[in-house]
Amino acid sequence: MERQRIATALLLLRLGVFIVMIMWTLDKFINPEHSGAVFEHFYGLGGLSGTAFMIIGVLQLLLALAFVAGFMKRFSYGMILLLHTISTLSSWQQYLDAFNNLLFFAAWPMLAACIALYMLRDLDTRWTLDDR
């Protein structure tokens, strides 16, 4: 019973993280100009083409789908954790002006969820391909 509750809680965390990741992925397809501005401002990577964002978007989509499906958990959960860590830390300037950038603080509980999912991936067994 305890393991079922843990597995359900981890499934909910996985679905919550996936919702954010899929929206960031779709942004690369639907609004590549916005993605370009984000990459330039937060990562210092300007001048990427629409084709580059399509490729990044496809790779990110495959990763997000593997993550939500619980496929290759060590890799997919680890990559989601790495990408979200980079994203969270690259926004450091927004944290200095906290009350004008409150939404950026939502990255921290999501980062905690990513860490928990990675650490507890062997207990995340509800609706995962790795555990079928």
pLDDT band at residue 114 under the 50/70/90 scheme = very high
Q: For 116-126, how does the pLDDT look when each residue is reduced to its tens digit (9 = 90+)? A: 999 999 999 99
Q: What is the pLDDT of residues 36-69, one digit of tens each?
A: 999 999 999 999 999 999 999 999 999 999 999 9
Among 6, 53, 7, which Cα is nearest to 30's? 53
Name the band, by pLDDT with cuts 50, 70 and 90, for residue 132: confident
Q: Which pLDDT value is given to residue 42?
A: 95
Q: Are 89 and 42 in contact (CB under 8 A)?
A: no
| Amino acid of residue 121 | R
Alpha carbon of 65 to those of 15, 37, 97, 111: distances in Å?
11, 25, 34, 18
Upper half-sphere CA count for residue 3 (Cβ side, 13 Å): 6
What pLDDT band is residue 3 in, cutting at 50, 70 and 90?
very high
Contact by Cβ (8 Å): 82, 91: no
